[in-house]
Amino acid sequence: MARPRQTIVSLEDTPYYHCCSRVVRKAFLCGIDNSTGENFEHRREWVDSRILELATIFAIDICAYAVMSNHLHVVLKVDADKAKQWSDKEVLIQWHKGFKGTLLTHKYLKEEDLNQFELQTVNECITEYRKRLIDISWFMRSLSEPIARMANKEDKY
């Protein structure tokens, strides 16, 4: 039975992880559905593009990946040292490449004046974002969710 990643990931033991993401509804991720003849091969580009985009955001390297008809495999290397070395500003810049952030984090990057409470809130965000940028679950969620949304829209679900 599958176990939550947080119970099996130990960056102290190894930075390398093999992850798999499967589709639901017996749907096709890509390839040709032999029962209907529909071609979903164009979706492979969605996966390729998203993986390459996420590699520029997260402190996680893509060692290898394979896109199958109904699932995908990725081999990841978490670079926790890289994330630790990022300045607070760099963490926010990385986060904003792929996510909205908050009004305060945007104000911070624009070097607008923040009061003590606002600055404390930004520092809490930075701490959380730094953790997320090395989190395999966040990476996989960020990979799978937009692709699933596009496929569901295309499949009219």
Confidence (pTM): 0.87
Is the pLDDT reported for residue 145 higher than 70? yes
Check if CATH label 3.30.70.1290 holds for domain 5-79+136-154.
Answer: yes
Share of the chain above pLDDT 90, in %: 67
Domain ranges of the chain: 5-79+136-154, 82-130
6, pLDDT greater than 70: no
Closest to 101 measured CA to CA, from 139, 59, 132: 132
pLDDT digits (tens, 9 = 90+) for 73-103: 999 999 999 999 999 999 999 999 999 999 9
For residues 54 and 98, the answer to whether their CB atoms sit within 8 Å is: yes
Confidence of residue 151 (pLDDT cuts 50, 70, 90): confident
